[in-house]
Amino acid sequence: MSIPDIQSQDDFRQIAIEKVGVKGLSYPIVVDDRENGTQDTVGNINLYVDLHPSKRGIHMSRFIEVLNRYHHDSITGNLESLLQDLKSIMKAEAAYIDISFPYFIKKMAPVSKIPSLMDYQCFFNASFNNYFQLWIGTTVPVTTLCPCSRAISINGAHNQRAQVTIKVRYTDFVWLEELIQIAEESASSPVYPLLKRRDEKFVTENAYSNPKFVEDIVREVTQKLEKDSRIVEFIIEVESMESIHNHNAYAMTHRVKQ
């Protein structure tokens, strides 16, 4: 018995679709790890292609078929091949993949030097239309201490957790660890997964001696990325979850280097 192929039917409305595919796919991936070579993690994956106006739909199962071919490989260096395969099997002009995943780094407490694992949210956004394009990025939790609060208060200053998101395009390979380090060095203080009392004392006092607005962090990250010849374009966002306001503070910049 013949099974009808409904997705391949002609469509006479003549409306092209820029992206069609699957979202929210949870899938094991392997990513490059500067210290250990590779790291196994779980990606939240979106896969898309464009759809010609003459076609009614696509075969969703083919996205998973292509992804399965890269199950055991480091995905960072294989995204171009993956998208080329996707374009070919889907007979598409453009293919896209978004991957977000937790990335773990061993981190030492600042004084006690006790090691523990810190998780960072990282992501890859890749596309292949006429050419391949890749963005990598991370969202890093940090501490901000308000310079204004410190200047006008007799005792203390308000401080809070913030998030620094760095997204870059590059010519030569950039490690996620490098972006994480830049974000943490640009804040009032890094965030740690484990702190003993002497660590907590150090972190609190260090943040107090290093007050930063969200604008300060964006500008300091910008200065560091501008000096890196590997990076050709970047987007920086900083959002501070304010402890004394019922709103967040936010700053953002986007630069294309000449």
Q: How far apart are CA 156 and CA 233, in angstroms?
A: 39
What is the CA angle 179-226-122, rounded to 5? 20
pTM of the complete model: 0.93
**Residue 8: pLDDT above 80?**
no
pLDDT of the residue at 106: 97
What is the CA angle 38-39-40, rounded to 5? 130
Query: Could you tell me the CA-to-CA distances from 149 to 66, 129, 209, 220 in Å, in that order?
Result: 54, 49, 13, 20
pLDDT (average), residues 11-25: 92
Q: How far apart are CA 210 and CA 143, in angstroms?
A: 10
* Superfamily of chain region 15-108+124-130: Urate Oxidase; (3.10.270.10)
CATH of 137-258, one of 3.10.270.10, 3.20.20.10, 3.40.50.970, 3.30.70.3280: 3.10.270.10
Q: Poorest-confidence range of 21-25, 74-78, 159-163? A: 74-78
Domain borders along the chain are: 15-108+124-130, 137-258
- 72 confidence band (pLDDT: 50, 70, 90): confident
**Residue 2: pLDDT above 80?**
no
**Residue 63: pLDDT above 90?**
yes
**Residue 6: pLDDT above 90?**
no
**Residue 71: pLDDT above 80?**
no
Comparing CA positions, the residue from 56, 53, 52, 31 lying closest to residue 42 is 31
Instruction: Give tens-digit pLDDT for 179-194.
Output: 999 999 999 999 999 9
Comparing CA positions, the residue from 48, 41, 5 lying closest to residue 23 is 48
**Residue 4: pLDDT above 80?**
no
pLDDT of the residue at 93: 96
Cβ atoms 120, 180 nearer than 8 A: yes
pLDDT of the residue at 238: 98
Return mean pLDDT, the chain: 94
Q: How far apart are CA 76 and CA 81, in angstroms?
A: 11
**Residue 48: pLDDT above 80?**
yes
15-108+124-130 with 137-258: one CATH topology? yes
